Amino acid sequence: MAEAYITNLQADTCSNDRRAKQQALSSLHATMETALVSTQDSQQDIQNMVVGVVPDLLLCTQNPMDQVREESVQLLTRCVQSVSVVPVTVFDTITHQGLERFQPGVEPTEETRLAWVMLVHTALLHTQPQQLETVLAIVQRTLVDTFPGVQKQGACLLATAARHAPVLMGYAGERPVKMTLGWLYHHHAAVRVLGLEPMRSLSLCP
């Protein structure tokens, strides 16, 4: 079962056990992928499995190995994509963990930070959020990220949030608009362009 491989990853935290972690992660990918594409399982069965493994996979995103953290986030994204509806509690858990990983100095790997924004973006599309505060806080962090890919995905996340939950975005007042101005007034033209889509989407919010 996938849980067994996750347990191996969590219990094996010494740097000299790199090979064991990689093998466990590869086996976990294979096990989860087989389960997710199985035609024998109903959508409810898949959702129950995903909900069950999300907390353990989130623990793996704190692993000291860069590869384990990045691939765990990618696997979480794959899990979220496999269900039609992500429970709000799962969405909130994912976004809160994502915000923690975006605190200064917590997640050093650019690709993993990018994977986190993509995970939150995917989860947002599969749920009906009750609040956007955590999502907006993550977007705020992407504004000052040193990795251009993270900034670009942050702009996509804000635009999607405005289209997917316009009423909730309207409750946020001027905050998201001010975020967009951070892109629009940037000294690099390539970054300024990023602000166009979220500003367009925000203009349609009530």
Average pLDDT over residues 184-198: 87
For residue 188, what pLDDT is reported? 81
When pLDDT is cut at 50, 70 and 90, the band that residue 27 belongs to is: confident
Q: What is the DSSP string of 33-97?
A: HHHHH-TTS-HHHHHHHHHHHHHHHHHHTT-SSHHHHHHHHHHHHHHHHTSS---HHHHHHHHHH
| pTM for this prediction | 0.87
Please give the residue that has the higher pLDDT: either 66 or 50: 66
When pLDDT is cut at 50, 70 and 90, the band that residue 190 belongs to is: confident
At 195-206, the pLDDT tens digits run: 999 999 999 998
Count other C-beta atoms under 10 Å from residue 83's C-beta: 20
At 2-21, the pLDDT tens digits run: 555 556 555 554 445 667 76
Question: CA 148 to CA 131: how far, in whole Å?
Answer: 27
| Residue 38 pLDDT exceeds 70 | no
| Residue 98 pLDDT exceeds 60 | yes
